[in-house]
Structures are given as structure tokens and as C-alpha cells.
Amino acid sequence: MKRVVVTGQGTINALGIDVASTIQAMSESRCAIGQMEFTDINRLNIKIGGQIKNFDPKKYFKRQELSLYDRFTQFAVFAAREAILQSGLIFEGELSHYSGVVLGTAGGGLQTQDENYRAVYQEGKNRVHPFIVPRLMNNAAVSHVSLANNLKGPSFTVSTACASSNHAMGQAFNLVRSGAAQVMITGGSESMLCFGGIKAWEGLRVMSHDGCRPFCATRNGMVQGEGAAIFVFEEYEHARARGAFILAEISGFAMSSDAADIVMPSIGGARRAILAALKDAKMNPEEIGYINAHGTGTVANDKTEASAIKEVFKDHTKKLMVSSTKSMHGHLIGGTGAVELIACIAALKDGMIAPTVGYEKADPNCDLDIIPNHARDKKVSAVMSNAFAFGGLNAVIALRSI
Amino acid sequence: MTNAVQDKVIKIIAEQAMLDTSEVSIDMLIEDIGLDSLGLVEAIFSIEEYFEINIPFNANDPAASEFDVSKVKTIINAIEELVSAKDN
């Protein structure tokens, strides 16, 4: 089995439109959740989110590209540019045949669906733009990252709700580890901040109207975000041979299914995924210094996740730092694990432990060191990232410094 | 009217092909303008939207369409017919 390292990362999210500004914002414990702006927002009860407001796609894409790119594709292609540029890789010849793209998304081209359903149903329009299908398909982001960068190897989209990007990165990891690919571009993107996207979530009554406060006694639901994070996963010897700068090593990955309830999380499913990821990484629980939690800010997730962590890490839990950066960038659904991996890599590389902001009051069900409100400076050598999706599908990634 | 249709069609085609309108003349072949199949479909959509007409164009097999898209001129002629049919 080959070793897999990260040699590039890129992102766009409400905290920043690149990795440096995102990490800077996390280290300053900044919250990017605020009032959203889009058509018909006044018909929503939920008006807050982690919306990207300082991004003008016309500055970064040609007109023909924009006519084919839904916002979720724009985010993916944009973040992939930063990641691939950092890696220094140019995909040509053999390398391009052994390099592919696996990305997560839950909603795919939801902005395109929303706009065009509005046009045909609400406005009674009978003619639609010819590219609606290639814009809205869930694999559009993967395909455009592939064609923009000449990536001709294994490429596909993974859709497992809130765990999509963790599942995607796990597939990319295994493709490189098994030798099926030399380099994989992976991560996830999401753009659900539109009337239909938020209205559907509103119906579930799990959304907060005033903020995302994971693990806090006053938490009252999740807050959505949008954006993407993309990484370059590369076979270790390949990266070393070309003298690449290595950000971190992906050491393990595991998945599980609760098989219990379509929306309620289960301690057992979460625990099994965390344990299996440790086993896959050949790590002891005591080695883990930081966990980027799923930490959605819902009553059910946070207490379930805290219990699962305590069951796995036992006494080590006291020394374990656990934060949910969703409190700052919101829940990016199918892209969330990817943005959260930026925080994991910052912890390994810079000792910047991102905080859980908005924390007000202790919840005895969530008695973890959640890095309340202020980032911490602490060296760690191994970290994990949890994602527990609606549908009971869990995906956990383990990383170590190198 | 004729010139209005011609000017607008040339403007839409030029915009799709990333050219200046002065670079597109009515005698040019569509393939020489550098408009690919997606660009052509999008140009036809823009023309339909602007003139509020329906163009009988089949992207599966453009050559088989009643609508001749081989040249700028054939497109303009066909659109003029469709526009005047609508107006009458």
C-alpha cells in the first residue's frame, strides 16, 4: 500500500476566498455568518448563513465558462486552481492518465434548478436556456475541474449529504493508496443558499435563526454555508521525488452506516467510524490531538458526537481538543468536510487550533474541550475530521504531520 | 426591419464567438467563425429570446434541420421569415 500526502489546497468560503485568508480568519476566531441576500429571502424564516459576498465570478471566468458553470462549479474550479498551483503539478502525458477528480456535493447545481423552476413555474416562461442540464448535473464540478486541468484518470461525484466531501476524499485517498491513481484532486463544493435550498431545510425545523453554537447549551440548530475546498492528494514517493512541499499525510479513512434512522444520528455508527479510521491509520487514540467535529449545532448531533468521542477516547478525551468550525463558516453540507480539512491541516502544520465560536454556556452532555471562542496555539501531530450525514452515513478521515 | 434583424443576429453570433461584430460578415460559414456546437445552441437560444420566435433547430443533427445553420446569411434569412410570419 502506498502512502498518500497532501501537496496542495485551495478554498473559497464565507471566511475567505483562499486558504491564507481562511486560516487567518479562523485564527482570529472570526464568524462569517450574517444576513443572506438572494431572491425572495423575505419569504424565508431563516435569513442567516455563511454566504460568500466578495466574489465576482466575472473576474475569474470567461463568459462561455460562466454559461456552463453553476455557482457550485465556479467554487470547485476556483478552489482547484489554488490547490493545483500550490502543488506545482502540471498534468500531461502519463501523469494526466493516472490523475483524476473525486468531489462531494449534496445539491449539485441547485442554483440553476432554483432559477429555472422559478422561470417556468412562477413566471410561466416556456423557453429555458440550453445548458440547464449540464449546469445542474451533480458531476458538473468534477467534469469541469477535469477538463480545466487535463485530468483523465478516475473521476466521479460522491453524494452523501453532509458527509459527501469526506466520503469523496476517502475514495481519492484509497485510489492513490491502492496505486490506481498517482494524484487525485478531491474535496467538495456546495451552493445551496437560494430560496428553494433554504426553504427545504426550513421545513425540517433544524435551522437556527440566530447563530450556530455547536456543543453550547443554548444551541438551537444549524446554519448553512457555501463554498468549496479542494486538495491535491499525491502518492508520497511521487511527491518526494519531485521535491514537493508536503502539507500533511492522510493516514486513514473509514465509513459506516447507522442503519437506524433517516435523520437522527447514532452513537454506535459514529463510534464505529472513528474507531475504524484509527485502525485504518494504525494509530492509537492517544496520538490524536485534535478533532474537527461534525458539530452542526443541533441538539441531536452534538450530544451524540460528544458521546461517541468519549466512548472511543475514554480518558484521553480530557486531553483532546475538539472544535466545530461550522460556527464560523456555516455548514457547507456536501462541501463541509473539505473546508474543515483546511482547519485540520492548519492544526498539523501551524499548530493553529481553530475555535468553536459563539459559545455561551456549558452543556453537560457535551463536556469536551471545544476551544471555546478563541483559537489556540498548540502543536499536534495527528488529527481527525468527522462527518456524520443525514441518512446515517458516516465518514472519518485521519491525518498526521510529516 | 431587415437590417435590424441582420444587425442583431450578427451581434449575437459575434458575441458567442468572442469576436467583434465587424469580424462577422453575412457570407461567412458558421464553422469558419469558430462557433462550436454549444455556442451555436446558445446563440439560437438568444435569438429566440430576443425575437420571441421558435426556431426549428435540432442539435442532434443540425444538417437535417429545416433551419439551415451553415452560413450567417442562411440564418438571417430564416429568422427574417420567422419574424415576419410572427408579425403577420
Three-state DSSP string of A281-312: CCCCHHHCCEEECCCCCCHHHHHHHHHHHHHH
Query: Using CB atoms, which residue from B18, B42, B54 is nearest to A130?
Result: B42
Given a cut of 80, whether residue A275 has pLDDT beyond it is yes
Helix-helix angle A195-204:A110-117, to 10 degrees: 100
On whether residue A145 sits in a domain, the answer given is yes
Mean pLDDT for A194-211 is 96
Residues 6+ apart with CB under 8 A from A145: A76, A77, A80, A101, A103, A151, A185, A230
Given a cut of 60, whether residue B1 has pLDDT beyond it is no
Query: Using CB atoms, which residue from B18, B45, B54 is nearest to A130?
Result: B45
Chain B residues near residue A130 by CB distance under 8 angstroms = 38, 41-42, 44-45, 59
Residue with cell 491541516: A345
Q: Is B28 left (phi over 0), alpha (psi -120 to 50) or beta?
A: beta
Q: What is the pLDDT of residue B2?
A: 53
Phi and psi (nearest 5°) for A340?
A: -70, -25
CB B18 to CB A63 under 8 A?
yes
For testing the chain B interface, which of A61, A62, A63, A64 should be mutated: the one with the most B CBs within 10 Å? A64
Which residues from B are below 8 Å from A when comparing CB atoms? 18, 38-39, 41-42, 44-45, 48-49, 54, 59
The residues facing A248 across adjacent strands are A6
Question: In whole angstroms, how far apart are CA A296 and each of A90, A211, A279, A386, B28?
Answer: 37, 11, 26, 11, 59
* Positions of A marked catalytic: 162, 294, 331
Tell me the percentage of chain A whose pLDDT exceeds 70: 100
On whether residue A247 sits in a domain, the answer given is no
Q: What is the pLDDT of residue B64?
A: 76
Closest CA to A343 of A331, A355, A334: A355
Residue at a domain's end among A211, A241, A271: A241
Domain shared by A202 and A282, yes or no = no
A80 confidence band (pLDDT: 50, 70, 90): very high
Chain B residues near residue A68 by CB distance under 8 angstroms = 38
User: Contact, A203 vs A286, CB < 8 A?
Assistant: no
- The domain limits of chain B are 2-87
Helix-helix angle A267-280:A299-313, to 10 degrees: 40
Residue at a domain's end among A193, A221, A241: A241
Q: What is the pLDDT of residue A132?
A: 97
Rg of chain A over Cα atoms, rounded to whole angstroms, equals 20
- The architecture in CATH of the region B2-87 reads Orthogonal Bundle (1.10)
CB B45 to CB A68 under 8 A?
no
User: Contact, A246 vs A5, CB < 8 A?
Assistant: yes
On whether residue A246 sits in a domain, the answer given is no
Q: What is the CATH number of the domain that holds A372?
A: 3.40.47.10
Residues 6+ apart with CB under 8 A from A170: A253, A254, A255, A395, A397
Helix-helix angle B37-51:B2-16, to 10 degrees: 140
User: Contact, A250 vs A173, CB < 8 A?
Assistant: yes
Mean pLDDT for B57-65 is 80
CA atoms of A192 and A109, how far apart (whole Å):
9
Domain shared by A360 and A321, yes or no = yes
On whether residue A199 sits in a domain, the answer given is yes
Domain shared by A212 and A290, yes or no = no
Q: Which range of residues forms the domain containing residue A185? A: 4-241
CB A127 to CB B49 under 8 A?
yes
Lowest-pLDDT range of A32-36, A191-195, A222-226, B22-26: B22-26
Rg of chain B over Cα atoms, rounded to whole angstroms, equals 12
Domain shared by A272 and A357, yes or no = yes
Lowest-pLDDT range of A1-10, A147-156, B34-43: B34-43
CB A68 to CB B41 under 8 A?
no
**What mean pLDDT, rounded, does chain B reach?**
89
Phi and psi (nearest 5°) for A163?
A: -105, 5
CA atoms of A400 and A288, how far apart (whole Å):
9
Q: What is the pLDDT of residue A129?
A: 93
For testing the chain A interface, which of B15, B16, B38, B60 should be mutated: the one with the most A CBs within 10 Å? B38
CA atoms of A15 and A22, how far apart (whole Å):
5
pLDDT tens, residue by residue, A137-176: 999 999 999 999 999 999 999 999 999 999 999 999 999 9
On whether residue A204 sits in a domain, the answer given is yes
Domain shared by A174 and A85, yes or no = yes
CA atoms of A135 and A66, how far apart (whole Å):
10
How many interface pairs between A and B have CB atoms less than 8 angstroms apart? 21
Q: What is the amino acid identity at position A226? A: E
Residue A386, classified by CB atoms within 10 Å of its CB into exposed (0-12), middle (13-18) or buried (19+), is: buried
Chain A residues near residue B42 by CB distance under 8 angstroms = 67, 129-131
B60 confidence band (pLDDT: 50, 70, 90): confident
B86 confidence band (pLDDT: 50, 70, 90): confident
CA distance A102 to chain B (A): 25
Q: Give the total number of structural domains in chain A.
A: 2
Domain shared by A282 and A386, yes or no = yes
On whether residue A280 sits in a domain, the answer given is yes
A62: nearest CA partner in chain B: B18
Domain shared by A207 and A287, yes or no = no
CB A129 to CB B45 under 8 A?
yes
Domain shared by A280 and A387, yes or no = yes
Residue at a domain's end among A217, A241, A265: A241
Domain shared by A235 and A256, yes or no = no
